[in-house]
């Protein structure tokens, strides 16, 4: 039995497909479908039971002869603009802590999602050996950082696996609204306006469109997670490509995938975002490489081309 929280979400549903492809169907999906379109991410996938996140601990103990091999904890509120910090801590920290203890009591492998948002503005770099003095810029990043610190304070990094996801993009993110990737948004901007709109720079060190992010394709991310699961790797690691690219690069990749001439318009960044905007992220990947994980990532151009032409242009874009 495998438990997959966030199993109807972006990364979770893609990983669910990979589990199925490897013959694993005895899976409990934990999520909060509500009125969103997340349920569509589950269509065609195999799992034994769905449990609403609010009922998980009550329902899981009622299952007889339960033997849990692994818990993949990808469920969270991932909105970087969420201002209800009490909610973020309850949802992203308290639930994670309780689930981690549940994994321990069942001697189950525990792999959870952290975030590059824990690094804040990157003033201390993006070294996944450094934790104590990081300063997240938003409540989401803070809630993820709190759980990383809890794992370390309780000396559980030798038992658990945390993954600091960088800028993940790809199919099945469609329900995320404002939190969808810029590739997704750009595709529809071109469709509607024949151009892509990017933020003007808010920092003198970066020209418009030359802010840098580590963009990583979800199909590569789930392969890394699978390898970590198979090899039973422990610790807290970055999960990005290790190669930062500009927003201009991203925009050009989208236009190229559509065989269109690039047209980019820059506009002022909202004041509400300026204090929490990351102008540069790039994962340091040596730690995960040294752990024996194969880091064979698509380039930004390869990932965008696959995402657009094998998903977004299709009538049925799901993975």
For residue 272, the model assigns a pLDDT of 80
What is the C-alpha to C-alpha distance for residues 124 and 136, in angstroms, rounded to an integer?
Answer: 11
Domain spanning 2-168+216-242+281-298, CATH class: alpha beta
CB-count burial class (<10 Å; 0-12, 13-18, 19+) for 152: middle
CB 166, CB 116: distance < 8 Å: yes
User: What residues does each domain of the chain span?
Assistant: 2-168+216-242+281-298
Q: For the chain, give the mean pLDDT.
A: 95
Nearest to 219 by CA among 54, 11, 42, 48: 11
Give 216-239 pLDDT, tens digit per residue: 999 999 999 999 999 999 999 999
The pLDDT, as a whole number, for residue 60 is 94
Whether 61 shows a pLDDT value over 90: the answer reads no
At residue 243, the pLDDT reads 97
Does residue 250 carry a pLDDT above 90? Answer: yes
What pLDDT digit, counting tens, does each position of 260-317 carry?
999 999 999 888 887 778 889 999 999 999 999 989 999 999 999 999 999 999 999 9
Query: Percent of the chain at pLDDT above 70?
Result: 100
Please write the tens of the pLDDT for every residue from 167-183. 999 999 999 998 999 99
pLDDT per residue over 6-52, tens digit each? 999 999 999 999 999 999 999 999 999 999 999 999 999 999 999 99
Of 51, 43, 47, 46, the C-alpha closest to 5 is 51
Quick one: pLDDT at residue 64? 87
What per-residue confidence (pLDDT) applies to 69? Answer: 97
pLDDT at 102: 96
The set of catalytic residues is 140, 176
């Amino acid at each position: 039995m495998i438990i997959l929280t966030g199993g109807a979400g972006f990364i979770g549903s893609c990983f669910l497909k990979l589990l199925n492809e490897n013959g694993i169907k005895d899976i409990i999906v934990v999520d909060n479908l509500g009125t969103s379109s997340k349920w569509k991410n589950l269509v065609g996938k195999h799992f034994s039971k769905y449990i609403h996140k609010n009922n998980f601990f009550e329902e899981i103990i009622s299952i007889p002869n339960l033997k849990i091999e692994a818990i993949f904890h990808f469920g969270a509120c991932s909105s970087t603009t969420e201002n209800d910090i009490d909610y973020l801590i309850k949802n992203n920290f308290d639930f994670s802590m309780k689930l981690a203890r549940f994994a321990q009591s069942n001697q189950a492998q525990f792999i959870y999602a952290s975030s590059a948002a824990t690094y804040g503005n990157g003033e201390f770099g993006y070294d996944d050996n450094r934790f104590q003095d990081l300063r997240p810029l938003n409540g989401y990043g803070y809630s993820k950082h709190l759980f990383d610190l809890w794992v370390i304070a309780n000396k559980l990094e030798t038992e658990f696996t945390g993954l600091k996801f960088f800028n993940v993009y790809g199919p099945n993110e469609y329900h995320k609204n404002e939190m969808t990737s810029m590739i997704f948004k750009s595709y529809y901007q071109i469709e509607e306006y024949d151009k892509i709109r990017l933020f003007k720079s808010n920092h003198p060190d970066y020209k418009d469109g030359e802010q840098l992010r580590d963009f990583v394709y979800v199909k590569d991310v789930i392969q890394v997670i699978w390898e970590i699961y198979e090899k039973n790797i422990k610790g807290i690691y970055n999960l990005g490509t290790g190669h930062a690219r500009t927003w201009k690069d991203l925009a050009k990749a989208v236009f190229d995938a559509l065989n269109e001439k690039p047209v980019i318009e820059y506009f002022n960044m909202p004041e509400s975002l300026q204090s929490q905007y990351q102008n540069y992220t790039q994962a340091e990947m040596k730690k995960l490489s040294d752990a024996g994980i194969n880091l064979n990532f698509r380039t930004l151009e390869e990932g965008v081309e696959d995402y657009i032409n094998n998903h977004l242009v299709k009538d049925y874009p799901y993975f």
